[in-house]
Structure 1
Amino acid sequence: MASNIIILMMIMVLRVVEGAAERAFFVFGDSLVDTGNNNYLATSARADSPPYGIDYPTHRPTGRFSNGLNIPDIISEKLGIEPTLPYLSPELQGEKLLVGANFASAGVGVLNDTGIQFVNIIRIGQQLEYFAEYQKRVGALIGSEKAKQLVKEGLVLITLGGNDFVNNYYLVPFSVRSRQYMLPDYVSYVISEYKNVLQKLYSLGARRVIVTGTGPLGCVPAELAQRSRDGSCADDLQQAAVLFNPQLVEMLNGLNSEIGSHVFVAANTNQMHLDFIIDPQAFGFVTSKVACCGQGPYNGMGLCTPLSNLCSNRDEYAFWDPFHPTEKANRIIVEQILTGTTDYMHPMNLSTIMVMDSKA
């Protein structure tokens, strides 16, 4: 019996990889998933200098806010497909367009005023405009009908929301948004605007969309350094995550009901992060409070630069810099996206999606 189960699992994995082989992958969102678009912009939201990329195959900074690979890279790796190039990369031409594209830009949020301090970033509305432009480029390459099919059968990952709190509502005391809205009302507003974004994405042809929630916003080293006296997570930002994530799932369920199909899949990245924040040792981490690269308390102050404190073993740290997970932590998150239970992926995980779609 056990051997039959193992054989069945192997067949499923083979089908997943087989189904992914010709499947395009599209990525939208912020610095958690940006693979280098901001390198091509005049902005302060960049990760183009050492020690970023220290564990990347080239050991050079790539624009990823990571010591190595980030979440989209690892999803591509697990599915056996080429990593998607940043949409602004001059290398994204010809056949490479058929792999998909990454439109994400560090600093952006659901709202247009999120990230204004970074000046020149690709706000989500512009990311969607680039997606429409991308489809015209692919249409010129393979014909408009095949381009539509490529997008329809593609996989989409979108990561937004964290910056709307960290870099907007809570950026400074008495911020414009915090004076305008009480937190519960602000969360509702962000969710309603996010719904508009996802409806636009659907209208542009996306039919399989993984939507990540925010992580535990008050637990990142940057917030511990600014707001925590004893190393416990910052209550105000945690409250934002507690309010936002369930409402996001509810909104996605509503959208799926309106459409009559499971287009939008919720990834509970809050719980995925909390697992290794609460019990870092269980995942092989020495700490989930101190960033590998940074300065000040918890290495959570300022930017990660060549002058920062730098840990020698990145696999011992859950956080790479004051805000972003290490590659090892990203791998744990992707594992849950691929195979996690409904506590992590609702209504289904990525492996199930790939098997279902390969049969279809």
Structure 2
Amino acid sequence: MATLSLWDTWASIVIIFALGCYHVPAAKAGARAFFVFGDSLVDNGNNNYLVTTARADSPPYGIDYPTHRPTGRFSNGRNIPDFISEKLGSEPTLPYLSPELRGQKLLVGANFASAGIGILNDTGIQFINIIRMWQQLEYFREYQHRLASLIGSHRAKKLINKGLVLITVGGNDFVNNYFLVPYSTRSRQYDIPDYVPFLISEYKKLLKKLHDLGARRVLVTGTGPLGCVPAELAMRSRDGNCAPELQRAAALFNPQLTWMLRELNKRYDSHVFIAANTQLMHSDFITNPRAYGFETSKVACCGQGPYNGLGLCTAASNLCTNRDKYAFWDPFHPSEKANRIIVKQIMTGSTKYMDPMNLSTILAMDSGL
């Protein structure tokens, strides 16, 4: 966790006395702000406030969350941002659309993610009302105005610059766009070897915009092994092996994403963007689940049909009794235990997993700033 500089100490004292009537249980002293962008893998509940079919606000979602209630997270419990917040010494970020995100809660950061979205605006159109990436970035701008009204523009800028950003997007551009239906618009427009560079070029624009908005430490996760999730096994696999066309897409996308991030870092002459090889992190426990304490990495805990990979996770679904034995919670999303394993690699993994360095190293470097 980053240590508190003299400036930060003085700023904290001034803020507390200036606002007087607020008490801040939200974060430990010195915890940096945390901002989250992306899709259902990192959504903390924004879609609860939208008229959309991409929701996780009904049981059994949240069955293992501390409150044992659905929160809008696509998990049986906590997700990747929750575990990163824990490492930062802070409470989980609130969804940006939550009415509770006000006052000094703003100092913790915010989660702008929305289930169903992708890099492209036409990804997830079947979910109707979701917060696409351009809108997430607009909300980030709006958030900064709200923060400046609270603590002043100078301090707000410093909080943003020193904050940590997580962005997880791209998987839906394949599973909920290109491969969603046979002969989709995008698949008629591009072959996969051409579609991937197009996605990367569009993603680069989003990341440059994020930098323009003040982000200086951005953790960028790649896609998981798309063809190995229970939903794709149920729809595309006859023998239990991962769907090759989606695996090929992930194998093309992730290295190109890392190369693009390296190019941006050269442009900015700083380690702004940190690539997390989540494809490899997932593959570790998918190929050898028992080494990680799982009984299966093919069958979802909650679902129906082959591999519990069809339909939605609802109260009427098949539900496993021990979620820690399953790598996947529902047809698309990792279980809480799998999320914890992924964050452990993000924190301490070698350069095989994290490029150019892991998050613990970044936090140690920044502690002296």
TM category (shorter chain) comes to over 0.9
1:239 corresponds to which of 248, 257, 260: 248
After superposition, give the CA deviation of every residue in 1:245-284 in whole Å (9 maximum; x if it has no partner).
0000000000000111010000000000000000000000
Match of 1:319 among 328, 345, 348: 328
| Other-structure match for 2:357 | 348
2:171 corresponds to 1:165: no
8 Å Cα contact 1:19-1:355 kept in structure 2 = no
Residue pairs, 1:1-360, within 5 angstroms? 21-360=30-369
SS in structure 1 opposite 2:110? Answer: strand
Q: Secondary structure at the match of 2:37?
A: strand
Identity across aligned pairs (percent)? 76
Match of 1:9 in 2: none
Is the 8 Å Cα contact of residues 19 and 357 (structure 1) preserved in structure 2? no
* Distance of aligned partners of 1:74 and 1:297 in 2 relative to their CA distance in 1, 3 Å threshold: same
Superposed displacement of residue 19, structure 1? 9.8
SS in 1 for 2:106: helix
One-letter amino acid of the counterpart of residue 124, structure 1: M
| 1:47-99 Cα deviation digits (max 9, x unpaired) | 00000000001100000000000000011112211110000000000000000
Determine the C-alpha separation between the residues in 2 that align with 1:188 and 1:347: 22
Distance 2:86 2:210 in 1: 24
User: Over aligned residue pairs, what C-alpha RMSD do you find?
Assistant: 1.3
Equivalent pairs counted in the alignment come to 347
Question: Is this contact kept in 2: 1:32–1:324, CA < 8 A?
Answer: yes
Report the Cα distance in structure 2 between the residues aligned to 1:140 and 1:15, rounded to whole angstroms.
26
Q: TM-score, normalised by structure 1?
A: 0.95
* Cα drift, residue 21 of structure 1: 3.0
| Cα distance in structure 1, aligned partners of 2:203 and 2:86 | 28
Q: Distance in 1 between matches of 2:363 and 2:29?
A: 7
After superposition, give the CA deviation of every residue in 1:133-184 in whole Å (9 maximum; x if it has no partner).
0000000000011101000000000000000000000000000000000111
Per-residue deviation, 1:14: 8.2
Q: Is the contact made by 1:29 and 1:105 (CA closer than 8 Å) also made in structure 2? A: yes
Q: Which amino acid aligns with 1:283?
A: Y
Query: Structure 1: 5+ residue runs without aligned partners?
Result: 1-12
Which position in structure 1 is the counterpart of 2:19?
Answer: none
Q: Is the Cα–Cα contact under 8 Å of residues 301 and 320 in structure 2 kept in the other structure?
A: yes
Amino acid at match of 1:49: S
2-side partners of 1:120 and 1:184: how far apart?
A: 30
**SS of residue in 1 equivalent to 2:84:** helix
Deviation, structure 1 residue 359:
1.6
- The equivalent of 1:4 in structure 2 is none
Amino acid at match of 2:214: G
- Cα distance in 2 between the residues matched to 1:104 and 1:349: 23
Distance in 2 between residues matched to 1:23 and 1:15, nearest whole Å = 9
What runs of 5+ residues in structure 2 fail to find an aligned partner? 5-26
